[in-house]
Amino acid sequence: MSCSGDAVEWASAHWRESKAAPGVRYKTVKMTLARRRDLTSRVRTMLNKARFHAASGEAEEQMEASLLAVDTDRMLLDWGLLEVEGLRIDGAAASVRSLIDAGPEELCREIAEQIRRDCQLTEQERKN
């Protein structure tokens, strides 16, 4: 937040420079009360399923847990990534959708992890 005269200025999103792909920057949402509620409700079921599958020692259950982790990253990108600049995929400027569908996995993981950190979900929120 910044203050200009009597009004407080709030930007609801912010840009970051990628570490995984130098020259690429991305814009993500900032956490708000409404966004926290929306995100918490979206991830609750996915995280519970992932924990259930991860607790099993069976290979098939471990594979399902890995798939749910990827689905969670994808959901975070859909939810919190607004724009990407400085990246071309197959000759066209990258969009959020093209990054998720055909972009570099390392960049997707970096952005998903940044969104997680920005959200700062508490352990109790993760359990619920």
CB 88 within 8 A of CB 95: no
In the predicted structure, residue 95 carries a pLDDT above the cut 60: yes
pLDDT in tens, 3-45: 666 899 999 999 999 999 999 999 999 999 999 889 888 888 7
Instruction: State the pLDDT at residue 128.
Output: 46
* Portion of the chain with pLDDT greater than 70, in percent: 88
Q: How far is CA 45 from CA 42, 48, 62, 67, 128, in A?
A: 7, 5, 17, 14, 9
Instruction: State the pLDDT at residue 49.
Output: 74
pLDDT (average), residues 111-122: 84
In the predicted structure, residue 2 carries a pLDDT above the cut 80: no
pLDDT (average), residues 92-105: 98
pLDDT in tens, 118-128: 887 555 444 54
String of DSSP letters for 76-110 = HHHHHEEEEES-EETTEE--HHHHHHHS-HHHHHH
